[in-house]
Amino acid sequence: MEIVNAVGRRKAAVARVFLTEGNGEITINKRALEVYFPSSILQYIVKQPLSLLDVAEKYNIKVNLDGGGYKGQAEALRLAIARALVKINPEDKPALRAAGFMTRDPRSVERKKPGRPKARKRFQFSKR
């Protein structure tokens, strides 16, 4: 099997994934998954598409992660892994879509408006 690549994004995070046949190793920025994401919740988020299709021990995953915070990075990685799995086997797409792993989350930070301290916050109003 050749290398399959895919990109996932969430907020400011970008995950570039390279899938090869292997024994289930996930390497993020040349570090192990457990080192990069010490939180078990974030590890669970990353592994969700693999565990849904029962292919966690079948592929080695090499990841370049950039931008955003750790939650956004984990969700970007989940999307990238799901997209790569669909490239390998298109019949898996309905199951991944039903679980919500194929949808790019469009929510991002709203821009700051002029004359305000933040996007929607206003300065304190003073009547007198």
pTM exceeding the 0.85 threshold for the entire prediction: yes
**Whether 29 contacts 65, CB under 8 Å:** yes
Report strand pairing: 13-21 vs 26-28.
Answer: unpaired
Question: How many whole angstroms separate alpha carbon 5 and alpha carbon 63?
Answer: 10
- The answer to whether 68 touches 109, Cβ cutoff 8 Å, is no
Q: Tell me the CB-side half-sphere exposure of residue 97, using CA atoms within 13 A.
A: 6
Residue-wise pLDDT tens digits, 69-127: 999 999 999 999 999 999 999 999 999 999 999 999 999 999 999 999 999 999 999 99
